[in-house]
A and B are shown apart, each in its own frame.
Chain A
Amino acid sequence: GENVEQHPSTLSVQEGDSAVIKCTYSDSASNYFPWYKQELGKRPQLIIDIRSNVGEKKDQRIAVTLNKTAKHFSLHITETQPEDSAVYFCAARNYNAGNMLTFGGGTRLMVKP
């Protein structure tokens, strides 16, 4: 089955700096890669996603890049703000082989004012 690894597990940045979280996946047939943000005590919420036929997607201060050859994808947050502090999860899904969504272990991002 699919295996998703996420790094780093914790990340501390200064307000205004950029943050990058990286994930690798094992199943080359995976074709959908969402990112979720989970604030303390809250439920995960989708913030951005990318399909395997796209190399990059951007939404205001967040962007996701996908390298299918290397089987890794990354979340980029620019001009970080204290409200970006949360746990971020990447995930991978192969729609051609069932509909299971496999998550990475999570990254705790702390943005210092």
Chain B
Amino acid sequence: EAQVTQNPRYLITVTGKKLTVTCSQNMNHEYMSWYRQDPGLGLRQIYYSMNVEVTDKGDVPEGYKVSRKEKRNFPLILESPSPNQTSLYFCASSLKGLAGETQYFGPGTRLLVL
């Protein structure tokens, strides 16, 4: 089954404790992306990747890192989480990131930083 998976689905952590949210897709997609969703602000793009070893900043990259060492995986790293990073995070992928392509979203990761 074609899908985007994220882990963990829920995470409670404390300020400053490094964490990684994994994202994996099995559709051989070149384009992958991370968003955060906050009430009233919609989805805001954090980082995106056009292909392996190619990443670029989105709207709100501060406090986040990403890597794209393999085509299928695009982990999101919070080196020193802060409470303002409490949010719902979505990973997404599409074939090449071109107009008209369906962007597939993962199930979401709800993060609480205390």
Contacts and interface: CB of A to CB of B under 8 A. Distances in A.
| Bound pair (A, B) | yes
Interface of A: 1, 4, 6, 9, 31-32, 34, 43-46, 49, 51, 89, 91, 93, 95, 98-106
A103 to B, nearest CB: 4
B50 A99 contact: yes
Interface of B: 31, 33, 35, 40-45, 48, 50, 56, 58-59, 90, 97-100, 102-103, 105-108
A46 B103 contact: yes
Given A6-B42, A102-B45, A44 B50 contact: no
Nearest to A106: B42
B50 A89 contact: no
Given A51-B100, A89-B43, A95-B98, 4 more contacts: A44-B90, A46-B102, A95-B99, A101-B33
A31 B99 contact: yes
B29 to A, nearest CB: 13
A6 B41 CA distance: 10
A105 B107 contact: no
Contacts of A103: 35, 42-45
Contacts, number: 56
A101 B106 CA distance: 16
Nearest to B107: A43
Contacts of A98: 56
A105 B41 contact: yes
The 5 closest A-B pairs by CB, nearest first: A43-B105, A103-B42, A32-B99, A103-B43, A105-B42
A40 B110 CA distance: 14
Most chain A CB within a 10 A radius of its CB, from B42, B44, B107: B42
B10 to A, nearest CB: 12
Nearest to A41: B108
A44 B43 CA distance: 10
A105 B107 CA distance: 20
A22 B106 CA distance: 26
Contacts of B44: 103
A12 B98 CA distance: 34
Contacts of B105: 43-45
